[in-house]
Amino acid sequence: MPRVRITSLLFALLLPQVCMAVAEPNEPVVAGYVFSQDAALQPGQIDAQRLTRVNYAFANIKDGRMITGFAKDAENFALLTGLRKQNPALTVLVSVGGWLWSTDFSDVSLTPQSRRRFIQSVMEFLRRYDLDGLDIDWEYPGLAGAGHPFRREDGRNFTLLLKELRSQFDRETARSHRRLYLTIAAGASDEFLAHTEMKQVQRYVDTVNLMAYDYVEPGSEPLTGNHAPLFTDPADVRNYSGDASIRAFEKAGVPAAKLLLGMPFYGHVWGDVADVNHGYLQPGKAIPNAYAPYGTITSSMIGHGFTRYWDSAASVPYLFNPEKRIFVSYEDPESIAAKCHYVLIHKLGGVMFWEYSGDPAGKLLAAIHQSLQPGGSGGEKSR
């Protein structure tokens, strides 16, 4: 834990809270990202009973301080925190950054003064909106991401930012007797691990939300493939999977109990794919609407010229439409069950998903809920 100068009495009061902040969860975490942008959330839209944590995306950074990102944020925070009446165990965190808003992280984390300014704004933000903590979504330390400024020392400064946030959270917990959560969204790649100090980082965070999806995407990869496989398919020489990423993060020093396996509530769509091997591992191109929420897949693809296939090696499904020459990699209840079973047998901290609105009928969330229950079904084989 961070070293802070406190009296022995304060230390005695603080220690139980600090230990609580890093304790392994008794039940799997189900963390759902909610990305409503400028839309107002509606009563009944979020199923509070099947979530343990909401990560509201995204807050932004301006002049070194965390600020709201969208017009309806205050209204949406009020609705989300009100869900605690339905589920007192529900926690509501705000996620800051993301793929497009990670521009200022390198500057924010650079010096003690810049980190202090940012952390002060975080504390004010959490108090103002009655939130339970912060999720840092820096994409990515030491890397350009979507074209953001970055520095060689980002990895070290990332650790320091999290260490100082944890110290401030612990002091606030000692004062208020209310636990504050600190989490990060982590890229599921060797590059992310090479530019961060995960063995140190894990000491200061409650969970590492592993983004085990987008391994391949239309436009960035010449071949189609599973964008969120549980296991590596030997037929795909690119050699990637959620299982491989989990093992890499554990090797880097992150305990299994702090890892949340990420799941996509959307699919990726490739066009101009030849009718060979049902379109799998074939050349393909990016097309309009290449990002397909699960609700769109079930309403306009399955049963409408698309045939579902199951990759037993990877434990995920895909679709192919030979007439339209379209290939779709996605998640469904069967693959969700397999991943949840993996979480249980490998004693991971739980699951997270991006993002809630992709599954308006709640079929994927229901599969998560059922599969994580004692005796819940799951189709994954242990490896």
> What's the distance, Cα to Cα, between the start and end of the chain in Å?
34
Q: Which of 256, 350, 254, 255 is nearest to 27 (CA)?
A: 350
Sign for the pseudo-dihedral over CA of 337, 339, 343, 348: negative
Residue position matching structure tokens 């004692």: 374
Give the span between the Cα atoms of 89 and 175, in whole angstroms.
Answer: 21
Name every residue whose Cβ is closer than 8 Å to that of residue 253 and which is 6 or more positions away in sequence.
198, 199, 200, 202
Q: Which of 244, 265, 261, 233 is nearest to 333 (CA)?
A: 265
Q: Which is the catalytic residue, given 24, 27, 75, 139?
A: 139
Cα separations in angstroms, 216 against 63, 83, 232, 241, 328: 35, 36, 13, 10, 12
Decide: helix, strand or coil at residue 321: strand
Amino acid identity, position 359: D
Q: What backbone phi and psi angles, to 5 degrees, belong to 158? A: -60, -45
Name every residue whose Cβ is closer than 8 Å to that of residue 84 and which is 6 or more positions away in sequence.
48, 90, 92
DSSP 8-state assignment for residue 92: E
Is residue 93 within 8 A of residue 142, CB to CB? The reply is no
139 as an active site residue: the answer is yes
- The residues carrying an active-site annotation are 139
